[in-house]
Amino acid sequence: MSEGVVLRVYGDRALVRSTEGLAEYRPKGSLRKDGLLAGDRVTVQGEHVVAVHARLSQLGRPPVANASILLAVTCVRDPAVSQGDLDRLLLQAEAQALTTLVVLNKCDLIAAEEAQDYLRPYRAAGYTALRVSTRTGEGIGDLRTALPPGIAVLAGQSGVGKSSILGSLTGDDVEIGRITEKLRRGRHTTRAATLYEAGPGRLIADTPGFSDLDLPDIPPERLPMLYPEMQGRGCRFADCRHRAEPDCAVIAAVGEGRLDAGRYRRYLEFLAEIEGRPKRWH
């Protein structure tokens, strides 16, 4: 028996990095096939995964267990990812209580001021935001340094450069080549997340990109809690939705330019969108 991490699940097999090396295993009969996720800590024995350890976290989209940080990858050009799109991604992460790092890629395509303007609201909200380019290598070292031990999940729209960032962080690791080769044989590749090794104790999950991202499935009153910059402002009402309530400190801060007006305007749009959903929370 030995302990390992699931790097990928495909079909009825799981690719596991364990103390015995890198190999494919089948879940033992009593383990449900769909009970395994990339990122799961498992016990393997012989040809089988015989136990799945309790998860510290579970991301729904993309499906990854035990992630310690989400890398919210975005870019201003090719494709143009709006700040509203980035807001939605951050809300998904906040809804799952995941630490998030904003990564603005393709900075080689835009002026430094444009990158700063794009990131300003997020930095003001308390997020760490890095400017990178896989083309020039700018910021890649900082990104590597910023990765905590454990599993980092690359997420973002199609084409923003998630796989390119993965390549920049992992380099031409022989082991990666071997993993990739094994993966090509899998037939269920498009929907899955895959973990790659990026140094001791560090795994990075590349995930399929998306074109549209839903707001998280939450009741409207939870939405304000997903904005770090709206916390502890001291509104009169504890359940203030920061729209038209008396003595709302968020509205006041926006008026005085202490909170980003764009983030706030989009917050109101998102709130209306969530309030307009069919009720099933009460």
Would you tell me which residues interact with ligand GTP (CB under 6 A)? 105-106, 108-109, 133-135, 156, 158-164, 208-209
Whether the CB-CB separation of 154 and 69 falls below 8 Å is answered with: no
Taking the least distance from each CB to ligand GTP, the nearer of 156 and 216 is 156
Give me the phi and psi of 180, to 5 degrees please.
-60, -40
Provide the H-helix boundaries in the chain: 83-95, 112-124, 140-146, 162-170, 174-184, 249-255, 261-275
Taking the least distance from each CB to ligand GTP, the nearer of 136 and 231 is 136
Q: Choose among Mg ion, ligand GTP, Zn ion, none what residue 74 binds, the Cβ cut-off being 5 to 8 Å by kind.
A: none
Taking the least distance from each CB to Zn ion, the nearer of 191 and 236 is 236
Per the omega criterion (within 30 degrees of 0), is the bond before 79 cis? yes
Taking the least distance from each CB to ligand GTP, the nearer of 71 and 226 is 71
* Nearest CA-CA partner of 151 in 69, 93, 208, 92: 69
Q: How far is the CB of 135 from ligand GTP (least distance, A)?
A: 4
Q: Choose among ligand GTP, Mg ion, Zn ion, none what residue 263 binds, the Cβ cut-off being 5 to 8 Å by kind.
A: none
Residues binding Mg ion (CB under 5 A): 162-163
Q: How far is the CB of 232 from ligand GTP (least distance, A)?
A: 35
Q: How far apart are CA 70 and CA 156, in angstroms?
A: 10
Q: How far is the CB of 208 from Mg ion (least distance, A)?
A: 7
Taking the least distance from each CB to Mg ion, the nearer of 92 and 207 is 207
Site string for Zn ion, 218-257 (x = CB under 5 A): -----------------x----x-x-----x-x-------
Q: Which residue is nearest to ligand GTP (CB)?
A: 209
* Nearest CA-CA partner of 115 in 126, 104, 124: 104
The DSSP call for residue 33 is G
Q: How far is the CB of 118 from ligand GTP (least distance, A)?
A: 15
* 241-247 contact pairs (CB < 8 A, 24+): 241/271, 242/267, 243/268, 243/271
SS3 content of the chain, % helix, strand, coil (to 5): 30, 25, 45
Q: Which residue is nearest to Mg ion (CB)?
A: 163
Q: How far is the CB of 160 from ligand GTP (least distance, A)?
A: 5
Tokens 């799945």 sit at which residue? 52
Taking the least distance from each CB to ligand GTP, the nearer of 162 and 242 is 162
Site string for Zn ion, 180-209 (x = CB under 5 A): ------------------------------
For position 271 contacting Zn ion by CB under 5 A, the verdict is no
Taking the least distance from each CB to ligand GTP, the nearer of 208 and 228 is 208
Backbone φ/ψ region at 281: left (φ over 0), alpha (ψ -120 to 50), beta = alpha
Per the omega criterion (within 30 degrees of 0), is the bond before 63 cis? no
How many other CB atoms sit within 10 Å of the CB of residue 123? 13
Can you give the binding site for Zn ion, defined by CB under 5 A? 235, 240, 242, 248, 250
